[in-house]
Amino acid sequence: MFPRKVIGSWLMVHGKKVLAVFFFLLLLATFYYLPSTIKADEIEDLQKQIDQLNHAREQSINATKPLEGQLTSLKIQLQQIQVRLQNLTYNITQKEKELQVREDKLVMQQALLNSRVRSYYIRSYLASPLMVILSTSSSGDLFRELSYRQAATREDQRIISSVTEDMLDLMVKKEKLEKDKASLAVLQVQVDKNADFLTGEIKKAKDYQSDLSSKISDLTAKQQAILAARSGQFTASIGDSEEADDYNASIKGFRESAPAGSYAVFSFGAYTHRKGMSQYGARGRAQGGQDYKAILRAYYGKEPVNKDTGGDIRVAGQGSVNFEEKYLYGIAEMPSSWHPEALKAQAVAARTYAYRYKVEGKEICITETCQVFSSSKADNPPQAWKDAVNTTRGQVIEDVVTYYASTHGVYVSTMGWDTTDGSGGSNFVDKSYEKIGGSPWVYKAWYRQGYSSSGDSCGRGNPWLSGEELADIINAAKYRDDRVTPVTTSCWGGNPYSHAELREKAGGPATVTSVRVVQGSGVTSEVVFQTDKGEIRLSGSDFKTAFNIRAPGRLSVPQSGFAFFNIEKK
């Protein structure tokens, strides 16, 4: 227990300092008191996510090309982190607002505290221990006064100790808060860095895709002309006589006559859009017992209805001619020797196709662009064809454009597999109606101009390729500029790379040792090559484009808008 005189003297000397410290601590406690607003695990969690972003960013930088899907995922994650940072910043702002309210209340508390401290100081200064003893009438009063003052002293000590502990605690919390704020600032810098990087990477991805698309689409005029000539810009027509098979273009000719180690690219179908009726398929169905209505239903999904088809139609170069007994008699799209039910299906398809021209008063062309018309046939139609037209007179299919072509290659875009069981499988050609109908184009290696068996072949007697020539096609898919054209300049001209030059440009193989083709529903999905440079994979579409640009002679995959082929090796 401290003597009252000692206490009084100490207060007289140090009282102002003590009060100043006390007031400062109280003010500091009120001003800086703020609970920890950010949990440590939140900071760590954010830092982990930032580290993941940094790692992904480094991976993307080192990647051979940007992956847009990965960048989209990073962008979403980055946005989530940004939201959390905004929430934490909001929490700090709210606590600072609460602090301001408490600071305003402190003004009144400070006035009360000043009054109380001043009264206590004056009382302690004037009332010395001796005066207490002299002014006390009894020992009981003396002890009560001393006890009171000792209690007051202990209370002062308790307050000072409590405030000191609060000060230390608040200093720790303040330090923690400052660290949290600093951590948030660092995180924000990293988020901004990743945001800038992400924006740049997405632009790179878009630029890369745009550049790639540009390289693919912006081919030279020479390459475009080659593609147009080889990629099926017109549709094969049967005409009035069946097309004879080309032995060297057939799988039979390849297996019997090609040198060992040779390759050949066989297309499923001819120059076709794969819409509507296959003419050879209709023949196969008729030979299988289907009538013309069943054939039309299979290819167009509907049976014909009767319409008034009397009157004339405007025909290019012919003027206005009778629709039923002149124009339709002259349609030269199917041999009149074919099965009557196939002829009837053709008559309805041709009538329907032309009927809309008639109704709208438009002139119809007489080539394959519309449908082939022969004035000499119209003047003297074969009896079988005339019977087919007359038997189906007035019959059209409503609300359908009746496209047709000679051979679709077993798959029709409007119906799927044109087979006896309606499915594909490893033997889909064998069970196709087009093979039953005798199409020479259902599975063929194309190496002549157009679809005639006597068409120009650019000096080649067959469509067979060596392993080196097939490897050259791969290199054309890997590298392209205006000199990537057929090496056969006798029919294509230009200044093409040699096989060795293109191989050096592409860094590709010199030869192919084996090949595997992956088929989908009516398309070739992928081609897998084993080469002297290892395994190389190309999409069916990329291989077709490279093949039609670079293949020697007039070799082609003559299909428009799709790629459905196989590569055979002997």
Q: Which residues have a Cβ under 8 Å from the Cβ of 486 and sit 6 or more positions away?
A: 226, 492, 494, 496, 549, 550, 551, 552, 553
| Out of 276-290, 317-331, 550-564, least confident range | 550-564
**164 vs 549, higher pLDDT:** 549
Averaged pLDDT score across all residues of the chain: 79
pLDDT value at 259 more than 90: yes
Tell me what pLDDT residue 93 has: 66
Confidence of residue 29 (pLDDT cuts 50, 70, 90): very low
Strand partners, 465: 263
**Are the CB atoms for 262 and 512 separated by under 8 Å?**
no
Phi, then psi, of 312 in degrees rounded to 5: -110, 170
Extended strands (E) in 149-276: 263-267
Tell me what pLDDT residue 178 has: 67
pLDDT, mean of residues 330-354: 97
233 vs 256: CA distance, rounded Å: 32
Tell me the residue range of the domain where 313 lies: 277-402
At 256, which amino acid appears?
A: E
Does residue 296 form part of some domain? yes
Question: Is 76 in the same domain as 185?
Answer: yes
Question: Is 208 in the same domain as 339?
Answer: no
Question: Is 201 in the same domain as 229?
Answer: no
Domain count, the chain: 3
Three-state DSSP at 319 gives strand
Report the alpha-carbon angle 527-523-350, nearest 5: 150
Question: Is 92 in the same domain as 204?
Answer: yes
492 vs 85: CA distance, rounded Å: 64
Question: Is 263 in the same domain as 288?
Answer: no
pLDDT, mean of residues 375-404: 97
pLDDT value at 59 more than 70: no
Does residue 432 form part of some domain? no
| Out of 17-31, 76-90, 353-367, 524-538, least confident range | 17-31
pLDDT, mean of residues 363-388: 95
379 vs 373: CA distance, rounded Å: 11
pLDDT, mean of residues 178-206: 70
pLDDT, mean of residues 552-564: 91
Using a 10 angstrom Cβ sphere, with 0-12 exposed, 13-18 middle and 19 or more buried, the burial of residue 68 is: middle
pLDDT, mean of residues 177-203: 70
Question: Is 203 in the same domain as 150?
Answer: yes
490 vs 458: CA distance, rounded Å: 7
How do residues 64-117 score in pLDDT, each as one tens digit? 445 455 556 656 766 776 676 677 667 666 655 655 555 555 445 455 445 545
Does residue 421 form part of some domain? no
pLDDT value at 14 more than 60: no
**Percent with pLDDT over 90 in the chain:** 52
pLDDT value at 406 more than 50: yes
Does residue 24 form part of some domain? yes
Using a 10 angstrom Cβ sphere, with 0-12 exposed, 13-18 middle and 19 or more buried, the burial of residue 271 is: buried
Confidence of residue 313 (pLDDT cuts 50, 70, 90): very high
Question: Is 50 in the same domain as 196?
Answer: yes
Q: Which residues have a Cβ under 8 Å from the Cβ of 187 and sit 6 or more positions away?
A: 43, 46, 47, 50, 81, 85
How do residues 445-492 score in pLDDT, each as one tens digit? 999 987 778 889 999 999 999 999 999 999 999 998 889 999 999 999
Question: Is 204 in the same domain as 250?
Answer: no
Task: Specify the DSSP class assigned to residue 325.
Answer: I
pLDDT, mean of residues 520-524: 93
- Of 402, 423, 458, which residue constitutes the final position of a domain? 402
pLDDT value at 514 more than 70: yes
Tell me what pLDDT residue 339 has: 98
Does residue 491 form part of some domain? yes
| Out of 190-194, 350-354, 392-396, 409-413, least confident range | 190-194
Strands 277-278 and 404-405 turn out to be parallel
Question: Is 146 in the same domain as 213?
Answer: yes
**Are the CB atoms for 366 and 316 separated by under 8 Å?**
yes
The first and second tokens of residue 296, run together, are 């039309």
Does residue 435 form part of some domain? no
Question: Is 297 in the same domain as 262?
Answer: no
pLDDT, mean of residues 149-156: 57
**Are the CB atoms for 360 and 311 separated by under 8 Å?**
no
Tell me what pLDDT residue 271 has: 85
| Out of 79-83, 362-366, 390-394, 528-532, least confident range | 79-83
**Are the CB atoms for 433 and 278 separated by under 8 Å?**
yes
Tell me what pLDDT residue 452 has: 79
Does residue 409 form part of some domain? no
Alpha-carbon distance values, 460 to 262, 317, 486 (Å): 15, 38, 13
249 vs 264: CA distance, rounded Å: 9
Question: Is 227 in the same domain as 134?
Answer: no
Question: Is 262 in the same domain as 207?
Answer: no
**Are the CB atoms for 18 and 164 separated by under 8 Å?**
no
Does residue 418 form part of some domain? no
Confidence of residue 34 (pLDDT cuts 50, 70, 90): very low
Tell me what pLDDT residue 179 has: 72
Alpha-carbon distance values, 281 to 51, 287, 329, 441 (Å): 62, 10, 22, 12
**354 vs 74, higher pLDDT:** 354
Q: How far apart are the first and last CA of the chain?
A: 114
pLDDT value at 164 more than 60: no
Tell me what pLDDT residue 319 has: 96
33 vs 27: CA distance, rounded Å: 10
Q: How many CA atoms lie within 13 A of 242 on its CB side?
A: 14
Q: What is the pTM of this model?
A: 0.63
pLDDT value at 555 more than 60: yes
| Nearest alpha-carbon partner for 77 in 161, 154, 190 | 190
Tell me what pLDDT residue 190 has: 72
Tell me what pLDDT residue 432 has: 97
378 vs 332: CA distance, rounded Å: 9
Three-state DSSP at 106 gives helix
